[in-house]
Amino acid sequence: MAKKLKKGLDQIFGDIDDVINDISYSSANQSLAIRIADIRPNPYQPRKVFSEEGINELAASIREHGVFQPIIVRKAIGGYELIAGERRLRASKIAEKEDIPAIVVDFDDQQMMEISLLENIQREDLNPIEEAEAYDNLIHKLDYTQDELAQRIGKSRPYITNMLRLLKLPSAIREKVINGQLSGGHARTLLAIESEDEAIALAQRAIKDKLSVRELENIINQKKQSKKTKSEKQPDPAYENVRHIMENKLATKVKVEKDKIVITYRGVDDLNRILEIMDCLEQE
């Protein structure tokens, strides 16, 4: 018989490990031996990358000692869906176990999504891209605002916003974050680069030269300053020609830009002089 969660997720955020332990070790929740073949992966599992070495070590332990803590599942059509215990389930398959101890609980989709995300965040199992994708899924599938999501998981609104921005990075850079070649700090720094090709090139340089986040920031700032200086030192020739003509005509400093002309004058008399040259004064 599936057991309902005694307290809502609103009351347990920030304490996921305790909740999972309460479910696992509560006398009301008896463990069942469930065939591994009948268990489907958690459809809301945000974690995509698992340490092969760690799973193999756990499999070796399971071969010798078995699974100490039951996994948590819910009933589904034709079997069960995993809620918590992905590593134990994967390791048990490697250990060639036919069944695994499990506790069946009555979770809805929202609870599954939230508890899967929080379990991984609290244990720091997610890389920055997986975390960002999990936030994006919660926002779109559960119709949360960023403010609501921040309150639900105990993060600040700016933190959520900055994490979601990582999804705007080119896929080539996101992949480097996922496989651990770049940190979340490197990824956020590269968001300042508008050109996709330039951002990818800088990402590759950061990996090759083992740049720190601060070193990468300095390189990007230098590039921006260089572009700004180059732009200032090389004005449009057509505008420069117009500027020279007007300065010679008006005998004053003139600045010509793409959508405006700035004429310098000193006092009312000088202004009237310029207006007279431009034939802008009313005849008396």
Q: How far lies 181's CA from each of 127, 166, 194, 206, in Å?
A: 11, 15, 21, 9
Residue 140, classified by CB atoms within 10 Å of its CB into exposed (0-12), middle (13-18) or buried (19+), is exposed
Instruction: Please list the residues that pair with 73 across neighbouring strands.
Output: 82, 104
Q: ∠ CA(274), CA(280), CA(284), 5° rounding?
A: 110
How far is Cα 204 from Cα 221, in angstroms, rounded to an integer?
17
CB–CB of 117/95 below 8 Å? Answer: no
Active-site residue flag, 215:
no
Catalytic one of 57, 81, 86, 148: 86
- Of 145, 207, 134, which is closest to residue 167 (Cα–Cα)? 134
CA 192 from chain centre, in angstroms, equals 14
Residues marked active site are found at 86
